[in-house]
């Protein structure tokens, strides 16, 4: 028999958001006693609806972050007279960086490249290793190389971006529609998707309020088992979008508490 499960914080917060927006109780349903239970039930006065919560994570990026944390975001190279900073791309393999980067920087110290851009030194060998740029510093610990993840970037997308992204997420997380479809005696089946810092930048931008970027128009292509969709951002400026079959996309009034101070 499955063990009793503990509710994740993003599941609890999703229940709170849906309850606040709709104005009805949303109570946890999954207790771990049966496989493939939905996370929660929405309790309307005359009926119930099912709710399943998922977060859109880039597993490769998360694996890279774990590897960086294990290395404490740095490499010690005693042969270097200065400290260095290396900008790590999303495709870089940290184990390989740890093995090969010291020799590249030692060689660069012995024979500095003739040109350095504002963002640091770049080279074919650095790029092949997944290092976008590297540069020495005189104000920190000599012989230490700090590994800094490359910042995320992108554009605001179009009116199709959010709908297409939702379609992709629900295909990738096929257990979400499967759990919702399996729950009996409900007419509404809500998928709640958390956008994370690794999600499509266009989606993240459109989660922010304002008229300076596109608003979703294209409906998602929903798999069997999903009738309603919620999309929430984890950054304090981001809010919550929802798609309901009777009204299309709309921006809910929910905001992070820090934005209301």
Supply the pLDDT for residue 3. Answer: 53
Report residue 150 as tokens: 């490359």
Asked whether residue 28 carries a pLDDT value surpassing 90, the answer given is yes
Picking from 26, 22, 23, the residue whose alpha carbon sits closest to that of residue 51 is: 26
Mean pLDDT for the stretch of residues 162-188: 96
Which H helix or E strand runs over 133? Answer: strand 131-137
Indicate the average pLDDT of the chain.
89
Q: How confident is the model at residue 99 (pLDDT cuts 50, 70, 90)?
A: very high
Greater confidence (34 vs 185) lies with 185
Mean pLDDT for the stretch of residues 128-150: 87
> What is the percent of the chain where pLDDT is above 90?
63
Report residue 41 as tokens: 């039930």
Helices (H) then strands (E): counts for the chain: 8, 11
Question: Where do the structural domains in the chain lie, given as residue ranges?
Answer: 9-46+154-260, 60-149
Report residue 116 as tokens: 């350095």
Mean pLDDT for the stretch of residues 137-152: 81
Supply the pLDDT for residue 155. Answer: 78
Picking from 234, 257, 252, 233, the residue whose alpha carbon sits closest to that of residue 242 is: 252
DSSP state of 117: B
Mean pLDDT for the stretch of residues 38-62: 90
Greater confidence (141 vs 259) lies with 141
Report residue 202 as tokens: 């266009």
Q: How confident is the model at residue 259 (pLDDT cuts 50, 70, 90)?
A: very low
Supply the pLDDT for residue 220. Answer: 97
**Which residues touch 76 (CB under 8 Å, ≥6 apart)?**
143, 144, 145
Q: Give 180-231 as a DSSP string.
A: HHHS-S-S-EEEEEEE-TTS-HHHHHHTS-SSSS----SPP-PPTT--EEEE
Measured distance CA(196)–CA(47) in Å, rounded: 32
> What is the percent of the chain where pLDDT is above 70?
93
Strand order, beta sheet including 83-88: 74-76, 144-149, 83-88, 131-137
């Amino acid at each position: 028999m499955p063990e009793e499960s503990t509710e994740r914080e993003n599941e609890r917060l999703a229940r709170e958001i849906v309850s606040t927006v709709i104005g009805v109780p949303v109570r946890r349903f999954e207790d771990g006693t049966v496989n493939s239970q939905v996370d929660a039930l929405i309790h309307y006065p005359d009926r119930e609806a099912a709710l399943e919560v998922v977060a859109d994570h880039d597993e490769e990026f998360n694996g890279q972050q774990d590897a960086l944390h294990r290395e404490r975001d740095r490499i010690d190279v005693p042969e270097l007279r200065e400290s260095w900073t290396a900008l790590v791309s999303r495709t870089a393999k940290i184990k390989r960086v740890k093995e090969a980067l010291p020799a590249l920087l030692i060689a660069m110290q012995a024979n500095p490249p003739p040109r350095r851009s504002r963002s640091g030194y770049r080279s074919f060998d650095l790029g092949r290793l997944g290092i976008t740029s590297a540069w020495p510093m005189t104000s920190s610990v000599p012989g230490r190389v700090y590994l800094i993840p490359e910042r995320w970037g992108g554009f605001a997308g179009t009116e199709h971006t959010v709908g297409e992204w939702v379609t992709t997420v629900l295909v990738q997380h096929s257990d979400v529609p499967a759990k919702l479809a399996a729950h009996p005696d409900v007419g509404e089946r809500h998928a709640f998707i958390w956008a994370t810092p690794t999600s499509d930048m266009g989606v993240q931008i459109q989660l922010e309020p304002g008229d300076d970027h596109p608003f979703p128009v294209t409906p998602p292509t929903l798999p069997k088992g999903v009738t309603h969709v919620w999309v929430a951002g984890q950054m304090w400026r981001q809010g919550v979008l929802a798609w309901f079959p009777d009204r299309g996309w709309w921006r809910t009034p929910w905001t992070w508490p820090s934005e209301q101070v």
